Amino acid sequence: MPWSCLCAHLFPPPGLPPLGLNLHLDLFPQGKADFEVLGPDGPVLATVGGVAELWCRLSPNMSAKDMELRWYRHQPSPAVHLHTQGKDDPWDQLANYSGRTAFVSDRVATGEAAVRIHNVTTFDNGTYCCRFTDGNVYSEAALQLQVAGEVPALGHLVNPEAECTSEGWYPEPRVEWTGSRGQAMASVTNLSASATTGLWAVASSVTIEDQTLESVSCSISNPLLPERKVAESHLPSESPFTAREASVPLIFAAVGLVTSAVVCLCWRRWEKNRKHPSLDPDTASAKLSLSEDRKSVTRLFFAQDLPPSPGRFDPDPCVLAQERFSTGRYYWEVEVGDRSAWTLGVCLEDIGRKGRIPKSPQQGLWALELHKKRFLALSYPRTRLRPSKPLRRVGIFLDCDAREISFHNVTDRSQVYRFSGLPFLEPLKPFLCLWTHDPRPVTFCPVVQEMQEETSPPGGPKSHPWRPLAFPGTLPLGREWQGPQGIDDN
C-alpha cells in the first residue's frame, strides 16, 4: 500500500474520526495482489466549476470488470465513488460527492478506469486514492487533484491611488504592478479566502507618486494556469470637470472673442433654465420625509403611516427620483453633507422595492456607499474608495450612450469612481438610501455649468463636451443642447 494512502487512513484530517489500523484490517481484504495499480504521472488539473477525471490502471494489463473499484479521500468508506459487481453503489458515498460523480468504463476491459467529478469546487483539491480489489486482495495508488479558479474579472480605480480588485481565484493568486515604462511598483495587497467557497479575493493598491507616469497596470495570475488578467489605468483620470476646462480654450479659439455682454446674457439664460431632480413620493420609504419641493429628504426616527404603494421601498429607507433615463448624457449633484451612512447612484426602474435592496450591478444598482466610515463602490467585488477629501457633495455624470456612470467629488473636482459596461436594457432612475437616524437632509442641488453657445465655427462642427441633467421631454429629439436645460419639474 502506498504510504500516502496509508497515512490518510491512520491520520485523517481534523474533523474526521480516526480509522484505527485494526478496524481497517478487518473491513478490507489484506492479501498480497499479483497486480499493481498505477495513477497519473503528475497532478490532475481542473478548474472550479469544471470536470476532473481521475484515471487509474492495472499493471500488467488485465480486465477489471469483475473487480471492486473504489476512489476515496481520507478513508476508504464512505467513498468518493464505488463501482462494484458491474454497477455503482451510491449507498457508500460521501454526501458532498452525491450526484457529482460518474464511472468511466470505456477501457475497464483493459484494466483502465476513471471517476469523473462534475462541478469541481475548491474543496475537491487534494489527494485521492484509487483501489482495485479482486476477491480478498487489492492494490491502490495515490493521485493528486489540483483545482484552479477560472480567471475572473478585474475592477480598478485611480484616485489618487490605483486599486485593483478581483475575486474567484484558486489557489492563492500572484499580483504584480508595473508602470508605463515597464518598471515594477511596490504595492499593498490583501488576500482573503471565502470560508464557504474557498475562493480567494484580492484587493491590491499602489500609491502613484511619479507624476510623469502615463499609466499603471495591475496583473493577477493563477500559478496553475497560463492565463492572467491585466487592468490598465491611464493617468490622470478624465472627469467631466477636466473635460469642461479643456474645452474652454478650444471654444474661444473657434468662435473668436466673446464679449462681456454675450457672457452676461448667457449666464442670465442659464440661471433661468437651471433645474434639478425631484424625488418621487410614491417610492419613498415610510422612514423618509420629503420636502415640499421634493428636492430634499430626511431620515425619520419613526416610520410614517402611509397609504400602501407597490412602488414604495420597504423596509429599506430608500427613494427614487421621478425622472428616468434611457438615452443621452446627464449630470446632477447631491449634497450629502456629513452624514455617516448613505447609498447614492442610479438603478433600473423596476428594481425590487420589497425586502432588502440588491447591492450590485448584476442586480440593477450602480452606486457608491458610505458605511462605518468606509467609502465603497458597490461593484462586484466591492471596491474600497479613498477620496482625497470628504465626499460632502457628489457629482454624478451619466452617459447612457457610452453606457457609463461616474461619480465625482465636487469639493476638489476629482473623479471618485466610474462604472462602465452598463446594460441599459431598461430605463434608469436616480437612487438614494439613508441608513442612519440623522435629522440633516440630503438635497438634490441646482446645477449651473459654464457651457458653450449653440454656435459653430465656419466650416466646423458644433462642440458640446458634456451637459448638466436634461431629461426626455426637455429637448426635442435631434436638437443641439443650448446651455444647462436641467430637469422638468413636472
CATH of the domain at 362: 2.60.120.920
Q: What is the pLDDT of residue 39?
A: 93
Q: What is the pLDDT of residue 462?
A: 35
Last residue of a domain, one of 115, 148, 181: 148
d(CA 175, CA 106): 42
> Please, are residues 466 and 329 in contact by the beta-carbon 8 Å criterion?
yes
- Name the residue among 325, 263, 254, 256 with its Cα closest to residue 451: 263
Residue 240: inside a domain, yes or no?
no
> Please, are residues 263 and 186 in contact by the beta-carbon 8 Å criterion?
no
d(CA 80, CA 73): 7
**How many domains in the chain?**
3
Instruction: Identify whether residues 320 and 438 lie together within a single domain.
Output: yes
d(CA 353, CA 311): 6
Instruction: Identify whether residues 186 and 144 lie together within a single domain.
Output: no
Instruction: Identify whether residues 122 and 142 lie together within a single domain.
Output: yes
Last residue of a domain, one of 125, 148, 171: 148
Instruction: Identify whether residues 180 and 133 lie together within a single domain.
Output: no
**CA 166 and chain centroid, separation:** 7
> Please, are residues 221 and 173 in contact by the beta-carbon 8 Å criterion?
yes
Q: What is the pLDDT of residue 8?
A: 44
pLDDT tens digits for range 105-159: 889 999 999 999 999 988 898 899 999 999 889 999 999 998 887 655 555 555 5
Instruction: Identify whether residues 27 and 130 lie together within a single domain.
Output: yes
Instruction: Identify whether residues 63 and 164 lie together within a single domain.
Output: no
pLDDT mean values, one per 10 residues, the chain (490 residues): 46 42 46 84 87 93 92 92 91 91 91 93 90 92 85 54 75 86 85 74 80 80 74 54 40 32 32 60 95 94 87 94 89 92 93 85 89 86 85 91 89 87 80 92 71 34 36 28 31
Q: What is the pLDDT of residue 257?
A: 31
> Please, are residues 56 and 131 in contact by the beta-carbon 8 Å criterion?
no
Instruction: Identify whether residues 230 and 311 lie together within a single domain.
Output: no
Last residue of a domain, one of 109, 125, 148: 148
Instruction: Identify whether residues 127 and 200 lie together within a single domain.
Output: no
Residue ranges making up the domain that contains 115: 3-148
> Please, are residues 407 and 392 in contact by the beta-carbon 8 Å criterion?
no
Q: How many CB atoms lie within 10 A of CB 402?
A: 12
| Cell numbers describing residue 388 | 482625497
Residue 252: inside a domain, yes or no?
no
Residue 352: inside a domain, yes or no?
yes
d(CA 38, CA 69): 13
Residue 267: inside a domain, yes or no?
no
Instruction: Identify whether residues 66 and 213 lie together within a single domain.
Output: no
Instruction: Identify whether residues 143 and 167 lie together within a single domain.
Output: no
DSSP H or E stretch at residue 1: none
Instruction: Identify whether residues 319 and 359 lie together within a single domain.
Output: yes
Residue 247: inside a domain, yes or no?
no
- Name the residue among 149, 200, 144, 132 with its Cα closest to residue 172: 200
Nearby residues of 31 by Cβ (< 8 Å), 6 or more positions away:
135, 136, 137, 138
CATH of the domain at 58: 2.60.40.10
d(CA 335, CA 345): 13
Instruction: Identify whether residues 97 and 201 lie together within a single domain.
Output: no
d(CA 465, CA 451): 8
Residue 455: inside a domain, yes or no?
no
